[in-house]
Amino acid sequence: MTKRMIAAASLALPVLLSGVLGAAAHAVLDRADPRVGSTVSTAPSEVKLWFTENLEPAFSTIRVVDADGRQVDRADGRVDADNPALLRITLSLLPAGTYRVLWRVVSVDTHVTEGEFTFTIAS
């Protein structure tokens, strides 16, 4: 391999590699309470999300909104002190309806994951 070829290859590499860097998901949502997509009969007072990796509290956020996009949580989303893989937020008393949980977390290996799911409170 000549030096020129090596130089060409090293220039091409970042381009080739940048394609795979966009992939998401490091700390993956393991389970949630209320369950992802579930219908519950009583309004939950709290939403809890368990992830597959420990989280960085400074950059991990969670929001809960109603069908109109209005925020219904108490803005106290935090990573649990005893379990660094658990993200939780408390809710105001919710009427029946469908709610969206939006989260963006950073795992301790500094990777960002975003996601959302809905749950429904039956009337």
Partner 1 sequence: MSLETLGFLARWAHLALAVAVVGACAVLLVGGRSDRPTARAWEDHVLRWLRRLVLLALASGALLLAYQAAYLSGRAAAAFEGRTLALVLFETQAGHVWLVRHGVLLLLFALVSLRADVDRPLDWVAGRGQALVLGAGALGLVAAGGHAAAVKPDPWPAVTIDAVHLLATGIWVGGLLPLALLLRAASREEGADARPYAVLAARRFSRLALAAVVALVVSGTGNVVTQIGSVAALVGTPYGRLLLAKLGLLLPILALAAVNRRRLVPALSGEAATVGRPAMRRLARFVTAEAMLALLVVAIGAALGMTPPARHQQPDWPFAFRLSLGALQSAPELRLRALIGSQVAVVGMAAALAALVIRSRRGPWLASAAVLAGLGLGLGLPPLAIDAYPTTYVRPRVPYQAASIAQGARLYREHCAACHGRSGAGDGDRAATLPRRPPDLRSPHTAQHTAGDLFWWITGGIPRAAMPAFGDRLGAEARWDLVNFVRALGADTAARTLGPGVEPGRPWLVAPDFTFAVGPTPARALKDYRGRRIVLLVLYTLPDSRPRLAQLAANYNVLALLGVEVVAVPGDAAPDAIRRLGADPLILFPIVTEGAREIAAAYGLFARAPHAEFLIDRQGYVRARWAPETAPVRELNLLLADIQELNQEKAATPAADEHVH
Residues that bind partner 1 (CB under 8 A): 1, 3, 6, 9-10, 13-15, 17-18, 20-28, 31, 33, 35-38, 41-42, 52-54, 56-59, 85, 104, 106-112
Pairing mode, strands 86-90 and 78-79: antiparallel
- Please report how close the Cβ of residue 110 comes to partner 1 at its closest, in angstroms: 4
Q: Is the peptide bond before 84 cis (omega within 30 degrees of 0)?
A: no
- Please report how close the Cβ of residue 44 comes to partner 1 at its closest, in angstroms: 8
Residues of 104-114 as b/e, b for ≥16 C-beta within 10 angstroms?
A: ebbbeeeeebe
Closer Cβ to partner 1, 17 or 81, answer by number: 17
- Please report how close the Cβ of residue 67 comes to partner 1 at its closest, in angstroms: 18
Q: How far apart are the first and last CA of the chain?
A: 71
Closer Cβ to partner 1, 14 or 69, answer by number: 14
| C-alpha span between 66 and 99 (Å, rounded) | 5
